[in-house]
Structure formats: structure tokens, C-alpha cells
Amino acid sequence: MGQLIVTHIRALTFDVFGTVVDWRGSILRECQRLSEVDGITTDWESFVDSWRYDGYIGGIQQVRSGEIPFQTTDSLHRLHLDKLLSERNISLTEERTNYLNQSWHRLDPWPDTIGGLHRLRNKFVVATLSNGNISLLANMAKHAGIPWDCLLSAEITGAFKPDPECYKKAALLLDCKPEEILMVAAHKGDLLAAAEVGFKTAFIPRPLEAGPNQKKDLIK
């Protein structure tokens, strides 16, 4: 997260999963501990990828299409976790299953995250603008020491990004004009949607977000 010299920006809103924290590496480590502690064996990399892309991303698409009602990220994660455990014949107690689902609250930051945000806070308001629910974002910030000024979430709007209302509501709550906010993300769809509302945008390449074998468009 380098130096920002744009002077008319008042606030920076950040995508969190993948942009600020290493979701895949963090969740993979949590799952692999099940092998170490309980002797559970499965292909954890495909497990984690399905949990993220089929469960979370797929769940958001179902909400946005009207197939299922709006619900928190925690709920979407739990729905697909239960499905994955059943499909792979993995038996966990309710307590252990809930703890595993809460691993999304314990994601670790990328190496440049904490220092970069502290520097940016010297000049700008820095806030989340995430599809994660408030409790998830708050617990993650505590776990990782992420210095947010405030937490903005799809949970407040009742709609997931890239719905325009997410960005409009963020501007309203921050008391900023859209052009006074810089949306920061590692995902171009998020940035394009923010730009449509009038936000300025900054692309942060995270080539390892989706793992070593995943191909991503990292051209600005």
C-alpha cells in the first residue's frame, strides 16, 4: 500500500477479503489443523476453494438473483460448510463446526496491510466496505490488529456488492460525495461498480490471493 497523493479524497473504503487479508492462506491453515489434531484427511485446498467460491461467492449470486433471501456472510459460510462436511463424510461436533466457521473471523493480514493503513489514517478516514457482516469484520480487526476508523458492511445496506446501494450508502454514512471516496480493492468488478457510482478507485494486485495455481488478471 504505497503513498497516496490525491488531495481531494477524504475517505478510503477497502474491500477486505483478499485485498486486506489473506483469506485462502488463513483458512487453509485452520483446516489443516483438523488433520493435525483430529486426523481428518481430505483435499483441504479444494475444500477451501469450494467454501469460498461455491459457498460465499455463489451464495451472494443467489441472494442477488433473488433465489435466496439476504443473509449474513456467516450464514452463507455455514450453509456451504455443512454441505462440504457432509459430502466429504467429515464428522465434527457442533462446537467444532461453529469454531471452524468462525475461522473467517480470524483471517491474517497481508504483510503490507497494517503499516499501510496506519500511514493512510494520518490523512484519510479508512473504512471497510465489505460483504462481510459487522461482527466478522470487528472480530477480524481485533485478531489482526487492523486499524479501521469505521466498519461499513453489506449487512447495513441489506444488499451485497456490487449492488450500487452498497457504495451509495457508504458515501452517505461517511458524509462524503462519491468523488471524495477512493475504493481500494484487488477485484476489478468491485472497482468498476464503485466507479459507476462516482467513487475514485485504486487497484491493489494480490497475485497469491486465490492460490498459486489460480490465474488472475493483474493488469491495472
Rounded to an integer, the average pLDDT of 202-217 is: 83
pTM of the model: 0.92
- pLDDT confidence tier of residue 37, bands split at 50, 70 and 90: confident
In this prediction, what percent of the chain has a pLDDT beyond 90? 89
Which of 4-18, 169-183, 189-203 comes out lowest in average pLDDT?
4-18
Q: Is the pLDDT of residue 218 over 90?
A: no
Q: Using pLDDT thresholds of 50, 70 and 90, give the confidence band for residue 6.
A: low
Q: Which strands form 11-14's sheet, in the order they lie side by side?
A: 150-153, 125-130, 11-14, 181-185, 200-203
Predicted pLDDT at 190: 97
Q: Give the whole-angstrom CA distance, residue 97 versus residue 55.
A: 16
* pLDDT mean over 135-162: 97
For residue 149 the three cell numbers come to 476508523
CATH number of 11-22+108-203: 3.40.50.1000
pLDDT of residue 146: 98
User: What are the beta bridge partners of residue 126?
Assistant: 12
* 23-105 CATH fold: DNA polymerase; domain 1 (1.10.150)
Note the helical H segments in 39-182. Answer: 44-50, 58-65, 73-87, 94-101, 113-121, 134-144, 154-157, 164-173
Q: Is residue 5 pLDDT above 90, yes or no? A: no
Mean pLDDT value of segment 53-62: 96
Between the two ends of the chain, the Cα-to-Cα distance in Å is: 15
Please give the pLDDT value at position 160: 97
Residue in this structure with the C-alpha cell 455463489, named with its chain if needed:
58
Spatial CB neighbours of 155, under 8 Å, sequence gap ≥ 6: 72, 133, 134
Residue intervals of the chain classified under CATH 3.40.50.1000 are 11-22+108-203
Residue-wise pLDDT for 90-104, tens only, equals 999 999 999 999 999
Using the predicted structure, report yes or no on whether residue 220 has a pLDDT greater than 60: no
- Cell readout for 150 is 469505521
Does 145 score more than 70 pLDDT? Answer: yes
pLDDT of 50:
97
* Measured distance CA(143)–CA(10) in Å, rounded: 27
| pLDDT band for position 7 (cuts 50, 70, 90) | low
Alpha-carbon distance 30 to 24, whole Å?
Answer: 10
On the question of pLDDT at 3 being above 70, the answer is no
Residue 13 host element (H or E): strand 11-14
Please, where in the chain does CATH 1.10.150.240 lie? Answer: 23-105
